[in-house]
Structure formats: C-alpha cells, structure tokens
Amino acid sequence: MSKKLGLLLFGMFLGGVSGTSYFLIKQLDSASIENGRKLSESRPLKDFDLTDQNGASFNKNNLLGRWSLVTFGFTNCPDVCPSAMASYRDELKLLEDSMSRLQFIFVTVDPERDSKERLKSYLEYFHPAIIGLTGSQEQIKSFAGMFSVHFQKQGGGENYNMAHSPQFFLVDPQGNWTAMYNPPLSRGKIAVDLTRIASKDSI
C-alpha cells in the first residue's frame, strides 16, 4: 500500500470521505508556501466575535472555506499600516481571478478611534475588497492573541500611537493559522503563493 493511499484510508476512518478529501487537499496546498514562513504545526483558531466595516458580525465561520490573510493595525498609523494596505492593494490586483477562494482582512487595534465608518472609508481608499474588523478591546486582544500579536497604546491625548506587530498571517480554510509573512515584501510575493494554493484548490 502506498503512503498516500494509507493516509487517505486513515483519514476516511477518522472523518469520512468528503471531510478527509478537503483536509488532504488543503494540507498539500499549504506546502506551496515559498515566500512566507510556514508554521511547523498549524494552530487552530478559537471562535471569536468581531464586527466588519459594514456592521455585520464576523466570526470563525467567516474564515471557513477560504484562505485568509490577516494583519493588524490602525487608521491613524503614520507609515507601517499604509504600507501594509498598499501591499494588500497590490497583491489583490494580481489575485482578481482567485478572490472567490481568498480574503484579505485588516483588524484594528485602536477601536477607540476606528469606528466602522472610519474603517470603511480608510480601506476603500486602498481596495474595496479588504475586510475591516473591529470590536471591544477585549475581543480584539483575544483574537490577536491567537496569532501571538501584541499591541500597546503609546502616549496620551488624541494623537496617541499604537505599537503593534506588522506581520501578515495566513489562515487556511479550516480556520488554522498556518503561515506568516514578514514585511517588507517585494510586490507579488504573496500573490505567487496564494495563486499556487488557489490553483490546487478543487473545492
């Protein structure tokens, strides 16, 4: 018996034919990541409850069935976040044919100033397909913690800064954090990986 067939039969025993096929295809896809850093072991995300820029609830179910790229920031960020959103915009332009299988997500770490309306206006400037998420400080901190992301308020008054992790985090269609990208990245590096992944995605 071949190793591949053995894995397939074992998976069928655990979860049924359809679920197993989905799992095996996605695990093979994650091996196509060449320009980021793949985690030695994917980390399942817990359920969460955030709100998108249109006021709709966004939870773990919204991550299932698609590859998601997640980053954290805030709209008053002077340089890092605009650069990150410009990268999102550039990669999205290269991925238009694959967007049914992908989604790009920006999570604010500054809900005090980043209202849904502000998020929507800010993200539409870069690309209308970017999903913006907000919530309470506790909700955001809990979600960020799943990616080992830390953020902290610096300074006082209305012009305070938010120190935060700048990475891009790749979540697979089962809701597992599977890889990460450290900026700055040359244009198209993420798109190359995600195009390869999407092209192997038969779901």
Q: Per the annotation, where are the binding residues for Cu cation? A: 77, 81, 164
Tokens of 148: 């080992």
What are the CA-CA distances from residue 144 to residues 50, 63, 130, 177 (Å)? Answer: 11, 15, 18, 12
Q: Quick check: helix, strand or coil at residue 5?
A: helix
Q: CA neighbours within 13 Å on the CB side: how many for 165? A: 17
Smallest CA-to-CA distance from 69 within 201, 199, 193 is with 193
Smallest CA-to-CA distance from 95 within 190, 203, 175, 17 is with 190
Known binding residues: 77, 81, 164
Q: What is the DSSP letter of 182?
A: P
Q: Are 160 and 166 in contact (CB under 8 A)?
A: no
Q: What is the DSSP letter of 81?
A: H
Q: How far apart are CA 195 and CA 94, in angstroms?
A: 9
